[in-house]
Amino acid sequence: MNSIAIVGAGLGGLACARVLQLHGLDVTVFEQEASADARTQGGTLDLHGDTGQVALRTAGLHDEFRRLARPEGQQMRALDPLSGEVVMDEVPAEGDDFRPEIDRGQLRGLLLDSLRPGTVRWGQPIADVTKSGQLTFADGVTQDFDLVVGADGAWSRVRRALTGVRPEYSGVTFVELGLDDADRRHPELAALTGQGTMMTKIDGKALVAQRNSNGHIRCYAVFYAPEDWAADLDFADTAEVRAHLQERFAGWHPSLLRFLHDLDGRFTHRPLHVLPVPHAWTHTPALTLLGDAAHLMPPLGVGANLALLDGTELATALATAPSVDEAVRTYEAGMLPRSIETAKACATGLHDLLSDDLRSMAA
């Protein structure tokens, strides 16, 4: 029996583990976080009918996904930043569920619940990885595997062993904020957002608001900035960050500036890093990568979909190929060209996100 380790309990790693178990294969997922609830899991995702939903069908979880998904979240709305007027409002047709929304935390919970108890080893940070498939844990214990799958995200330790390539700052930064119980506590901003995604942008700056479940709206101020732009800002000081952003977005319509003023909680700085394009590697029998570890791209609606597809395709190959080596070769032969082409499109999409074309809804 081949021994398989997945490093990272994100969407792609969990999808891979789920499909491996469906095929009766043994797998262990190692996650550095202490528990599934150690941190919040981010905002809403649109799962595409030709990628993410395909993966969930392979994992036998599509019906459960449909019960949680929000088809109305496909609404896309653009507002003029200076007048605050709606200039585009695309509402999904009845029965359109090609890209329904689901909270990342809900989807991760669905995947976790589908695994056998004990599959995920929480609180297991990896200190080192070798090309032969040996993991060294933070406590110094080592363990050998026939295959180590790097599903450990942007700053992947497995990638470090395989390619040594690290993400680079893209020149674009996101500042995240949130509105709780928005329809009751922030009705005007909820009305501007609609049921899906609202965007407004000009002069290399954008505001994006997205509906999540349970009445929450997650918002992002997006702009070009040098990597050290926030060196003198204290993000624990909400008033200081608010004043900076309101100055940066000065001249925008007051109704839109309220997103920056009326937030609940603090601002969160999220500088955008990406892997170079193309990012590929020489085939190594005992190591491979999926999701952001393999192809970190701008967050333009494709990352989670590709991670899920990566994970299920790798698992299917491992279940059907005559050897681990052939399975990894088959998987990489499909995944790498796909991810390279998508990364090129996302690089263009990031430029479109901050263009003045209000009908360019890259996010």
Model confidence band, residue 363 (pLDDT cutoffs 50, 70, 90): very low
pLDDT in tens, 56-96: 999 999 999 999 999 999 999 999 999 999 999 999 999 99
Two tokens at 81? 């930043």
pLDDT (0 to 100) of residue 198: 97
DSSP label of 284:
B
Q: Is 324 exposed, middle or buried (0-12, 13-18, 19+ CB in 10 A)?
A: buried
Phi, psi at residue 284, to the nearest 5°?
Answer: -130, 115
pLDDT (0 to 100) of residue 362: 47
Model confidence band, residue 13 (pLDDT cutoffs 50, 70, 90): very high
pLDDT (0 to 100) of residue 84: 97
Decide: 54 and 176 in contact? Cβ < 8 Å: no
Q: How far apart are CA 56 and CA 296, in angstroms?
A: 21
pLDDT averaged over every residue in the chain: 96
Q: How many other C-beta atoms lie within 10 A of the C-beta of residue 157?
A: 22
pLDDT (0 to 100) of residue 360: 61
Q: How far apart are CA 181 and CA 92, in angstroms?
A: 24
Q: Report the 3 state secondary structure along 216-267.
A: CEEEEEEEECCCCCCCCCCCCCHHHHHHHHHHHCCCCCHHHHHHHHCCCCCC
Question: Which residue in this structure is represented by tokens 């150690």?
Answer: 38
Model confidence band, residue 1 (pLDDT cutoffs 50, 70, 90): low
Two tokens at 46? 């649109």
Look at residue 38 and tell me whether its pLDDT is greater than 90: no
Q: What average pLDDT does the segment 145-174 reach?
A: 97
- Concatenating the DSSP letter of every residue in 132-201 gives TSEEEETTS-EEE-SEEEE---TT-HHHHHHT----EEEEEEEEEEEESSHHHH-HHHHHHHTTSEEEEE
pLDDT in tens, 304-344: 999 999 999 999 999 999 999 999 999 999 999 999 999 99
> How many Cα atoms occupy the beta-carbon half-sphere of 237 within 13 Å?
10
pLDDT in tens, 274-299: 999 999 999 999 999 999 999 999 99
Q: How many other C-beta atoms lie within 10 A of the C-beta of residue 226?
A: 10
